[in-house]
Chain A
Amino acid sequence: MAKITKFLEKLDSLDRRIIFLIIGLVVLFPLLVPLDLPIETTQLTEDAFNAIDQLPQEAKVLVSFEYGPSTKPELHPMAIGMLRHLFSKGNKVIVMCLWPDGLFMANEALEQVAHREFGLQYGVDYVNLGYRPGNEAIIKGITKSFEANFSIDSKGISITKIPIMHDIQTAKDVDFIFSLSAGYPGAIEWVLYAGDPLKVPVSSGNTSIQVNQLLPYVKSGQMKGIIAGMPGATEYETMVVEKIKNNTGLITEHAKTLLPVFETERNAKKFIGAQSIAHLAIVIFIILGNISFFVKRKNQRKY
């Protein structure tokens, strides 16, 4: 008993580098030896998935990339999952970026999903309008005119020469807005300056740290669910795979042939094991830290 008490007291002055090392190891191990953990979907992700799933085939969806390499592990799997979902239904996708790095993320995601997996035609099935500086001013701008803000796309092609943009003059002409958001400008700005004023449904895939800020908008119906952090991304990936597997709703024939790819290439599922184990380790640290604190305080009171 005395030994345990001494150990717990020592924990209080543990070198923080040992904690870093342990966290590093618990994250590394499940990445090397992947864990196949069961995935339960939550209401937030289901709402976002259903809102997109209910869009008709001819619907045009505006997807905005507002993240960079630093938040790629959380948001990129969502981008991949969501683009797979949209293209598997035959929806047209208009991509734009409010973050400079978002352009690279968008190009990478479109190259993988639209080009390599679905073999879609640029300018007809999807377009990447690229990045524009100006934050919410750009959102406000496209509620009046796309052409005034995006005279050319990310490849330098005039917007007037892009077929998919011919019947899209403003943000009101799109059927759904989806923001892949890692901060400002991001999902909140889309609600404030496009979703609410134009009554266009908005949803978002966002980093964990933003979840608390976005929940009031979901609760009030200003957002149609959210994909929250890496767990949300894993759930969304699973829902897309399950939908194609069960052959429910709108699915193109080509998408059905891609099911094996969707089942195997799932980054979020690969990462969620590491995340779960790391969380478990942090919870243990918090419990041990608290026990250590109380043991130390109790011993100090004795003398």
Chain B
Amino acid sequence: MYIGILGAWIAVFLTLSILSYLYEDNVFYKLAEHIFVGVSAAHWATIAFWNQLQPNLFGRLWPQAEIATLEGFQKFWYGIYHVLHVIFGKIFPEAKVDGVIYRGIGDQPQNLSYLIALLLGVFMLFRLIPKIGWLSRWSLAYVVGMAAGLRLYGYMSSDVVGQIHATMLPLWTGDLASSINNIILIVGVLSGLFYFFFSVEHKGALKVVSKIGIYYLMIYFGASFGFAVMGRISLLIGRFNDLILYSGKQYGFATPILLVIMIVVLVLTTRKKKPEEEI
């Protein structure tokens, strides 16, 4: 109950702090901005660690196993796990069920090739040590190479081939409305592409085509701007809806109280600032 009320007060305070920037840059806004950056980074890192690194990396290197049954290399390998357990007990847990000791995370099959991923991940952290910071480039090279390869295929098949295929339309379909639609689409694609073709000077008939391309682009930008405004208004509606919700008695009148306090503080600080500016 009290946690809910506290949460409402924090939410209202942060919302009003961010909105206060519309009046002018101020201490509330700066505070909310810094809290947002810090909390976001920590939140992302925590979730990524417990959802990805721990189960998908460590879980594959050391899946849960009964210690008594291990032999040879595996005994040594799980010995390392035990050392890690002693240091970081929560990340590398051990369990004792009916006197039997289990070490490891999850029940997926062991895959030691994930050691390469672990090594590349550790190399990334070497950026913090200038002397061996160059090793982080290997990790980055892997990420860039993998991402480029992955995206190239997707873009080529879906964006380039898929979209070209979708643009190959008949100019006359037998139906006037759909024929006009197809003509508008094809003219738009060709003139838009031509606008970005700079190997020939745009003059005469080519200038007309290029101009048509500009008009198409302007319509696109106008529509995009309209949609952007629509999106921003939606966000404002969401925040206002929460402010209305938290203005009730069950949340201790969080919105009106914090709103009044903020207005008073902002007015006072603005008044204080003005004489200094005049000097």
Residues of A bordering B, CB below 8 Å: 17, 20, 23-24, 27-28, 31-32, 70-74, 100-101, 103, 130-134, 136-137, 140, 147, 149, 151-152, 154, 156, 158, 160, 189, 191-193, 196-197, 207-212, 216-217, 219-222, 229-231, 267, 270-271, 274-275, 278-279, 282
Tell me the bound Cα distance from A137 to B155 in angstroms: 14
- Asked whether A192 lies within 8 Å of B233 as measured between CB atoms, the reply is no
Smallest Cβ-Cβ distance to B166: which chain A residue: A220
Of B94-102, B124-132, B172-180, B236-244, the segment with at least 4 beta carbons within 8 Å of chain A is: B236-244
A262 to chain B, nearest CB (A): 19
Chain B contacts for A193, CB-based, 8 A: 150, 154
Smallest Cβ-Cβ distance to B19: which chain A residue: A24
Chain B contacts for A100, CB-based, 8 A: 43-44, 47-48
Q: How many A-B residue pairs have CB under 8 A?
A: 148
Interface centre among B150, B237, B241 (most CB of A within 10 A): B237
Of residues 73 to 113 in B, which have CB atoms within 8 Å of A's CB atoms? 106-108
Of B1-9, B49-57, B201-209, the segment with at least 4 beta carbons within 8 Å of chain A is: B49-57
- B23 an interface residue at 8 Å Cβ cutoff? yes
Interface of A is mostly: helix
Chain B contacts for A71, CB-based, 8 A: 231, 234-235
Tell me the bound Cα distance from A267 to B241 in angstroms: 10
Chain B contacts for A230, CB-based, 8 A: 230, 234, 237
Residues of B bordering A, CB below 8 Å: 22-23, 43-44, 47-48, 51-52, 55-56, 59-60, 106-108, 146-147, 150-151, 154-155, 157-159, 162-163, 165-166, 185, 220, 223-224, 227-231, 233-238, 240-241, 244
Chain A contacts for B231, CB-based, 8 A: 71, 74, 207-209, 229
B225 to chain A, nearest CB (A): 10
Chain B contacts for A208, CB-based, 8 A: 227-228, 230-231, 234
- Asked whether A31 lies within 8 Å of B241 as measured between CB atoms, the reply is yes
Tell me the bound Cα distance from A283 to B234 in angstroms: 16
Chain A contacts for B108, CB-based, 8 A: 147, 151, 158
Smallest Cβ-Cβ distance to B229: which chain A residue: A282
Smallest Cβ-Cβ distance to A72: which chain B residue: B238
Q: A149-B56, A208-B230, A209-B231 are in contact. Are A275 and B158 (CB under 8 A)?
A: no
Smallest Cβ-Cβ distance to B159: which chain A residue: A192
Q: A31-B244, A209-B224 are in contact. Are A229 and B107 (CB under 8 A)?
A: no
